Amino acid sequence: MNPKAEHRVPVLIVGGSLVGLSASLFLGRLGIAHTLVEKHADTSRHPRGRGNNVRTMELFRVAGAEQRIREAASTLSDNHGILQARSLTGDDQEWLFREIDPGGGLARFSPAGWCLCSQNDLEPVLVRCAREHGGDLRFGTELMSCDQDPDGVTAVVKNHDTGEHATLRADYLIAADGPRSPVRERLGIGRTGPGDLFHNVSITFRAPELADAVGDRRFIACYLTNPEADGALLPVDNREHWVFHAPWHPDRGETLEDFTDERCIDHIRRATGVPGMAVEITGKAPWHAAERVAERYGAGRIFLAGDSAHEMSPTGAFGSNTGIQDAHNLAWKLAAVLEGAAAPGLLDTYEAERQPVARATSARASARSAEHNHPGYAAAPNAGGGRQRGVLTVALGYCYPQGAVIGADPDLPVVPEQLRLTGEPGTRAPHMWLHGAGERRSTLDLYERSFVLLTGPDDGTAWRAAAESAARHRSARLDHYRIGDGPDADLAPEDGADWAEVHGTEPEGAVLVRPDGFVAWRAEGRVADPEGALREVLGGLLCRE
């Protein structure tokens, strides 16, 4: 092997699935050059990982990809809820829930909404968006080795088409290379948690007759509970293409070879309650549900994201969403360090913030699998702890009691019992609609490329001068918006809403929001020295004290 002359890039991403592609999009939006390598020749072709929660869709909204994703997901846009039934044709049926957002109450908290978009439909959209923002995406290219030193990471990659090896030199590496992450293994990072929960074989099949049995029940998934043929049925197009997750028991000596087409067809017929139905098997793929979290989220200049950092039960679709949100958290921090605004110590807050979220979320996902009696999951007695409430708190209400925040309550639960988005440091900033320059936008649309300072118009002049001076002093990106009515305001709240009340401050106060939309610091009332306060706060946040 004679690797070619090295290619230099600020960030190398290993893994081109949902998390790696999202990292590419987020870095590209921030103007950070990067290269992504993925050993497979193309994006996923198997329908899976379809639930994109409201927080993930907020991130894609700000990144300019939301509308494209919803267009790719249009086939299943009317599918809602999870049905549990002994068969599709019997009377023993129960909706575990009918609507993701009953009554439309989510609109109070977010400008976005949930989206049912299968991985095989979502990934091509992310590829196009990432490349439009300068992403160097190399499919069919496998990481062979990586070594780091105090100044960077040296990686050797192999092009599967040509067999050629090349050396890449990066300042930082993001390992989004899946649950069996070779990068994590090279780093010697262990994992904690219960481990494997259950195993399934995902079977794609064609069965036009099944649509008659399903009727007008437009579910996200149907858990079929026939003890002799259980599993989960998922629609692909609501007409003739479907996915069936069949329980697989390798601990009993079952192999993938045991899942012959004949066995799968018989299982699907019995599970659905449609004997004699014509079924054409079009694909099979094993998958494993587990609860594990990495003991560390990286080492030196290498960081773990997505399944390489955490595995969790698929119930609730928390896994991929948590991974995409990992990538978003890490992207703005890498950008700040690479641009010279932040010291490398900022990157230490990635683990401090994201690891507790993964631990809390993975536990909730396992409990939800127990609550729903997910096919194939033989949970321990009382593992579910009864019906869960507040799933939205997991998706949207998670917070950072410690990390790149100042003034957060250290006793703040990572996943609260009730959703509170009222401007506390460490929580996702509140959503409110604003008008300005002839357009309507959410406060969340302001947060991406810079820190943002929100104030009222009355004290806005002093805060604006302070923001400009502090940004120059810290070489940081900091935008300032005065929210209110009148000529001195930059943006006007809709329907007379009070920005200060929404954000938990007095009219003379201020709220500093990070590029990822989380509240970094809040002044609840008047500050005697706004410039000095902002300089100190930015210094602490960017680890430049």
Q: Are residues 206 and 254 in the same domain?
A: yes
Q: Are residues 351 and 321 in the same domain?
A: yes
Q: Are residues 47 and 183 in the same domain?
A: yes
The per-residue pLDDT for range 447-459, each reduced to its tens digit, is 999 999 999 998 7
Q: Are residues 464 and 536 in the same domain?
A: yes
CATH value at residue 465: 3.40.30.120
* Inside any domain, residue 132: yes
For residue 144, what pLDDT is reported? 97
End residue of a domain, out of 235, 264, 290: 290
Q: Are residues 197 and 264 in the same domain?
A: yes
Share of the chain above pLDDT 70, in %: 95
**Strand pairing report for 34-38 and 136-139:** parallel
End residue of a domain, out of 396, 418, 447: 396
- Greater confidence (375 vs 223) lies with 223
- Tell me the mean pLDDT in the region 249-277: 95
For residue 100, what pLDDT is reported? 80
Give bridge partners of residue 281 from the DSSP assignment.
Answer: 205
Cα 247 to Cα 215: distance, rounded to the nearest angstrom? 25
pLDDT at 6 > cutoff 90: no
Do the beta carbons of residue 483 and residue 453 sit within 8 Å?
A: no
Q: Are residues 351 and 271 in the same domain?
A: no
* Inside any domain, residue 88: no
The encoded tokens of residue 146 equal 């990586």
End residue of a domain, out of 262, 290, 318: 290
CATH value at residue 310: 3.50.50.60
For residue 351, what pLDDT is reported? 98
Closest C-alpha among 236, 243, 230, 235 to residue 219: 235
CATH value at residue 269: 3.30.9.10
* Inside any domain, residue 122: yes
Residue range(s) defining the domain that contains residue 460: 433-541
* Inside any domain, residue 159: yes
* Inside any domain, residue 87: no
The per-residue pLDDT for range 141-185, each reduced to its tens digit, is 999 999 999 999 999 999 999 999 999 999 999 999 999 999 999
Confidence of residue 382 (pLDDT cuts 50, 70, 90): very low
**Strand pairing report for 451-455 and 310-311:** unpaired
Q: Are residues 40 and 61 in the same domain?
A: yes
Cα 514 to Cα 103: distance, rounded to the nearest angstrom? 31
* Inside any domain, residue 519: yes
Mean pLDDT over the full length of the chain: 92
* Inside any domain, residue 343: yes
The per-residue pLDDT for range 410-429, each reduced to its tens digit, is 998 999 988 989 999 999 99
The per-residue pLDDT for range 293-321, each reduced to its tens digit, is 999 999 999 999 999 999 998 877 788 99
The per-residue pLDDT for range 69-112, each reduced to its tens digit, is 999 999 999 999 899 999 999 888 999 888 888 878 899 999 99
Q: Quote the strand ranges of 295-380, DSSP E.
A: 298-299, 302-304, 310-311
Cα 205 to Cα 264: distance, rounded to the nearest angstrom? 10
Q: Are residues 261 and 370 in the same domain?
A: no
Q: Are residues 379 and 514 in the same domain?
A: no
Give me the phi and psi of 108, to 5 degrees please: -70, -25
* Inside any domain, residue 427: no
| Residue 464 burial by Cβ neighbours in a 10 Å radius (0-12, 13-18, 19+) | middle
Q: Are residues 54 and 117 in the same domain?
A: yes
Q: Are residues 181 and 201 in the same domain?
A: no
Q: Are residues 146 and 235 in the same domain?
A: no
Our count of domains for the chain comes to 3
How far, in Å, are 108, 199, 250, 324, 362 from residue 195 at the CA level?
A: 37, 12, 15, 22, 11
